[in-house]
Amino acid sequence: MVEWSRTGERGIEDAVLDAARDCVLAYGVRRTTVTDVARRAGVSRMTVYRRWPDVQSLIGDLMTREWQQVLLAAATDEGTGHARSRLVERVVAGARVLREHPLLCKIRDVDPEVLIPYLLDRRGAGQEEMLRFLVDAVAHGRADGSVRSGEAETMARVVLLTTQSFVLSARTVADGLPAASLDRELARLVDGYLRPD
């Protein structure tokens, strides 16, 4: 989230994260250096190193911030209808934005190995936030009767896993399918999974 100083200027952290985003978009993750980031941010390398021990942790925080912004935008969209329909709308909108997100596209295209730990080994901070959002949304749906009975945590994990595949693997199977078709099918899949029996 954006940090503001007393004078109203953006915080150093955001300036560094913005610079890191610009470097990754220009060069990719592997070719991004702390020196490049510091130069673009207008700070010293030591300023960067005080907050991040290495480029990997800086990129991790950058990805977290970018995904948080997508999640925040989806969460603040009130949507319409019952909790399940709002959840489906938010999941599809978030997947669409992430699928086309410039940073994610650059990493996927140039440095896909950066994503491997988040797919095979552990969840990142952004995924944890998405999971919490989904657990809450499923619980709201159960409360208003629009989501079937079941363990909210488990159902949220299944929705997250499904959505990740629509974001990260769509290119491998979509072969010319319009994005609107993918969105429609993701909505149908998530809605059908959560609908009461």
Residues 159-172: tens digit of each pLDDT: 999 999 999 998 88
Rounded-to-integer distance, Cα 34 and Cα 22, Å: 12
Q: Is residue 79 in some structural domain?
A: yes
32 and 115 co-located in one domain: no
**13 and 82 part of one domain:** no
> pLDDT tens track of the chain, all 197 residues?
334 444 333 589 999 999 999 999 999 999 999 999 999 999 999 999 999 999 999 999 999 999 999 988 877 777 778 999 999 999 999 999 999 999 999 999 999 999 999 999 999 999 999 999 999 999 999 999 999 999 999 999 999 999 999 999 988 888 888 999 999 999 999 999 999 98
Residues 111 and 188 in one domain: yes
**Rounded to an integer, what distance in angstroms lies between the CA atom of residue 50 and that of residue 17?**
14
- Could you give the CA distance from residue 183 to residue 180 in angstroms, rounded to a whole number? 5
Domain co-membership, 113 together with 34: no
Q: Which range marks the domain in which residue 40 is found?
A: 1-53
pLDDT attached to residue 157: 98
The domain that holds 29 is classified in CATH as: 1.10.10.60
CB 63 within 8 A of CB 78: no
pLDDT at 42: 94
Q: Are 178 and 152 in contact (CB under 8 A)?
A: no
Residues 43 and 69 in one domain: no
The predicted structure's pLDDT at residue 162: 97
Asked if residue 58 belongs to a domain, the reply is: no
Nearest-angstrom CA–CA distance, 100 and 122: 23
Cα 180 to Cα 62: distance, rounded to the nearest angstrom: 28
Residues 86 and 149 in one domain: yes
Same domain, 25 and 74: no
- pTM listed for this prediction: 0.87
Number of domains in the chain: 2
What is the predicted pLDDT for the residue at 10?
A: 57
Tell me if 2 sits within 8 A of 10, measured CB to CB.
Answer: yes
Considering the domain boundaries, does residue 4 fall inside one?
Answer: yes
**Is 163 in the same domain as 100?**
yes
Residue 101 lies inside a defined structural domain of this protein = yes
Name beta bridge partners: 180.
none
pLDDT on residue 5 = 46
CATH number, domain containing residue 104: 1.10.357.10
- Is there a single domain that holds both residue 141 and residue 108? yes
